[in-house]
Structure 1
């Protein structure tokens, strides 16, 4: 009986056992908090970078934007990639009007398959889900910027438990109207029709 009484009173090693039980969930909590904090900071930085880049682009000054917006792209890539091994994808499209942003061209007749007619907003003689044209546009055009940022998780083991991926992806977009600088004209919206005949010829009278 004295042996059992002695064992009950012996608490050496209890702290180590308790720590081993709590260590893993504590580590997961700390790592998750750090990962979440970095993610929130990266998102705020991405949004701020995109807003600044869009404002720079609206000036239409090639010294600021480059001939095709390449200086804006370089600015975004440098500012957005705050984490090592990050990849930045930039998509720039411009529209003549704000109500065209991300909207499919209006179909005037028919269904999904030819024959049908539609309003050709971007002049490419094809019906588009998004009639935006690549680039930064001209005077008073609406420019839509979309940026995707992908970077490796700081704690991939923890991130995999939640997202099943070892990289995190953030997206941001903004639409702004260019200033009324010289250059740029709106395209005439034409009514185009695609035939069901062989080769599906398109006519835009």
Structure 2
């Protein structure tokens, strides 16, 4: 008789139910909170990088940009470094083009013989950036000269701040890209040197 009363009392006992329910809900709640913080930090960093690039783009259009290029780059890196982990990498890329319509365009080539859409087998190409090889982007490295259109890009890579990225199906590394396009001031005649090469 004592045993059955104890069993009934044990079944009706609800002490500790809240703790058990919280144990089921807590992982999902923690994952959501960390995810919100992670997304907020990523968006904030992205906005900051875009702002730094816009400011750098305005500064690089000046005639004196050549002598200040290192200082302008350092400002962008410092702005980003203030909000990302110390292990982050910030890479700055500058490609100058003769005109805006050249940005993102491949160097022209004569697709002879196999007509495979690939520059190969000694096919002739226009070496717009004079680097001796065919490129998918005809831009020349650097800020170029007078009147050139420049694509200035920052690539920021850093490990996620919160350790639960795997549970959410996110990659461990965050990579952000921000670009700005500018045109150098017309302080001189624009130089366009075009050479011809052969594809490998």
User: Quick check: TM above 0.5?
Assistant: yes
2:20 is equivalent to residue 17 of structure 1:
yes
Q: What's the C-alpha RMSD, in Å, of the aligned pairs?
A: 2.2
Q: Provide the C-alpha distance between the structure 1 equivalents of 2:197 and 2:171, rounded to a whole number of angstroms.
A: 46
Once residues 125 and 24 of structure 1 are traced to their aligned partners in structure 2, the CA distance between those partners, rounded to angstroms, is: 56
Q: Pairwise mapping of residues 48-87 of structure 1 onto structure 2 (< 5 A)?
A: 48-61=51-64, 65=65, 67=67, 69-81=69-81, 82-85=83-86, 86-87=88-89
Is 2:128 the counterpart of 1:121? Answer: yes
Aligned position for 1:194: 198
Moved more, 167-176 or 24-33: 167-176
Tell me which residue corresponds to 2:178.
172
**CA positional deviation for 1:8:** 3.2
Matched, 1:141 2:148: yes
How far apart, CA to CA, are the structure 2 residues paired with 1:76 and 1:55? 12
> 5+ residue gaps in structure 1?
201-205
The range that moved more, 33-42 or 108-117, is: 108-117
Which piece of structure 1 moves more, 46-55 or 103-112? 103-112
For residue 97 of structure 2, what is the aligned residue in structure 1?
95
Counterpart Cα distance in 1 of 2:137 and 2:68: 21
| Segments ≥4 residues shifted beyond 6 Å | none
Q: Kindly tell me: are residues 52 and 17 of structure 1, through their superposed partners in 2, closer, same or farther at Cα, counting changes over 3 Å?
A: same
TM-score (normalised: structure 1): 0.82
- Where 2:176 maps in the other structure, the secondary structure is strand
Deviation at 1:164, TM superposition (A): 4.0
